[in-house]
Structure 1
Amino acid sequence: MSNSPPATPPIDPSPSLYKGPLQIPAFRSFLLARFISVLSYSAQSAAIAWHIYETARETTGVGQSALYVGLMGLCQFVAMFITTLPAGVVVDKYDRKKVMGFTIAAQAVIALGFFALAVTPDSPFWALFVLSACLGVTRSFIAPAGSSIGPMIVPRDMLPKAIAINSLSFQVGGVLGPALGGVLVAASTGFAYGVSAVLFILAGIIILNIKANTQPDYAGGSKMEMVKEGLSYIWTNKVVLGALSLDLFAVLLGGATALLPIFAKDVLHVGPEGYGILRSSAAVGAMATAAWLARSPIRRHAGKWMYGGVAIFGICTIIFGISQSFWVSVAALVVLGAADMVSVYVRGTLVQIVTPDYMRGRVASVSYLFIGASNELGEFESGVAARFLGPVGAALFGGIGSLIVTGAWVKLFPALYKSDSL
């Protein structure tokens, strides 16, 4: 195992200097960079899904093209899975704002690659999946780096509120990004990629110019020892393990993101503009909930809040699947996003507050591996299910599966269910 952790934590702003996290200049810069990055990533993701679906639909039909959209998520996840644990070690050894800034710069280069494919006639279809895999690699670095910077620039007593504000910023970007992507795709897929590249460059410049010490205290040990230490921490902390795995399996089954292009074009018949609204709907609910949590953080019955959020997530997935009305589908996704935000908030607060700083990168890497598995593998699962069950059947299968997982996890992780104060 690695050497003993450092006796003192990284520089922590004095709580007496600030009344709230937004008064901290470094946190404001971090928040702005994170928002722009999420806005760009969300717009680009919407463009990629539409690009792949449209390209495949012309030659293979609706069912097969849905599978290709799912394969995009699988490519991202496989790449992220391979690089996640090494990325956590990097985040715990090197300046975290530099790791995040250079990773965002890499995302800008990837966006330019998508742009080149979009504007080049008869560009190879497989190249879309190669670039999607590269995007998965960048996510394995940017997620733990971003998660680990916050606690270094915000006093511990302000951290729960800072997490809620950061989540709000994330969700605002998630709301505007897909809508922006839908509008830009309606004009030109290449134009959507170009705008994303410019936004990534801007976010990278801001994050690299944060005036704060984000160099972690390196505890020593080999890379393998550092990886083992992070995995051991999560495995032995059953509350954290339960929270991460609940989100993994519930969203893995219930994720409907991969189905949205199919529902927009072939079920609800609303085109790219309606697709942008559908992509944004869950983020609207999450944004409203994050705003509420920023003003009134959850203080008691945290475990019950989390389980309740996951259960509502499954119910809304079922409603979305059977709906034939565009606005009913939008409403279901809004409530789904709100419920998901509650579970994300509880999980994020637990992990960031409990984990010591010297291993935050590794723990955050595993955490985001679980999240990535639920999102990207969830898209693959939905694509495969849609291929054999149709889009409606796939949504019903996922929603019912999420409810079954919620009930099972109450029995498997009673400590999480009984968790009270954050």
Structure 2
Amino acid sequence: MIDNELKKRVSYCYQCGTCSGCCPVSYSQEFSPRAIIYDLLNNPYPVEILKKNNLLACLTCNYCLQRCPQNVNFGEFIRQARTNMYEDGFRVEETHDCYVSTTSSIVSRSNIIPKFPKDYIPSNIEVAEQGELAYFPGILAILGAYFDDIGMNFSNIARSSLLIIDKLSDMPIVILDKAKPSGHDVLWQGDYETFKKLAEYNFNLIKSKGIKTVITSCAEDYRTLALDYKELFGELPFKVKHITQYIVEELEKGNQNLQFTNKMDLKVTYHDPCRLGRHMGEYDAPRKILKALEEKVGIKFFEMERIRENALCCGVSAFNYCNDFSKAIRVDRLKEAQSVADILVTTCSKCQIHFNCTLSEKRSTGSETRFNLQVMDIVKLIAEAMGLLS
């Protein structure tokens, strides 16, 4: 059921239309957040209303929340409505053969643990079974098994993250390689029970190891652990940090092990993921790092036109409903990036998948839309600048 407090908050909507005017989905297809709110609040059995309004098209990007004069959290309203739909037997239109939701469901109900190839853990780093500092690979192992055909190497993201943390930390790292996916995707698809099973397993695993700080390199995992786990379990006995936040803390402490020495002649721009940016309010940490790289190793950092709270979404959330409309959003963002840089850097594994998928598709079909753009995770750029990748 939709939470009564949220329903009350949503009822403050006075149908001004600001949300519909700024929604990236409404630019390319018939979609109106305010119409969905009106219909849901005035219909005792909303499933047909939800289908009619194409609830799955919502990116839950929180673009509308940034502008709503009544502070209506439409994305959270949509999430809870999807849970109602799921409980009534309605399933999302998921991309990639329902791979992520199926895998998440299987591992939530079994002893199966998704794993990377063993060589993703560098042989020269100090690791521990118990300790205060941990790295959460999360969804990366599942993604790594499926998306290598579009040039994605998620083992390298995890490996780069571990090399950076090991270099900056004075304590061994607990690698949570027995963790399961955080549950982000199934939560936003409406499968709350699977999310709850995954969350309970991961929460108990983290607690059992005496961990005080969990670092993750994926924006979606960061939001899920920091916000959704807290909502489920109450105040967490550990801190959750995105790796860019951890690096900036060490940068501002003057950590002498944080040295950017590998010169790079690159033109770079940064894409704000919705989960790290609008959902969690973190815009500065990645930029502080990129500006430090500009000063120390010579990269050239350029901003796109739409940044921070105004950044355009990558076009898909939780692998829901990828179609020509969502691809149009993605192409728009890629054009914006290419107008200022050669490399698009981001901090979200899903954004990288969606951008690389579109780039791969455009190249293979001989599309008139030409891109000479590389998409890169920020941790790989940082690890290269630190001379950690051989």
- Which category describes the TM-score, using the shorter chain as reference length? under 0.3
Higher strand share goes to which structure?
A: 2
Q: Which structure carries more relative contact order (alpha carbon 8 Å, separation 6+)?
A: 1
TM-score by length of 1: 0.24
Higher helix share goes to which structure?
A: 1
TM-score by length of 2: 0.26
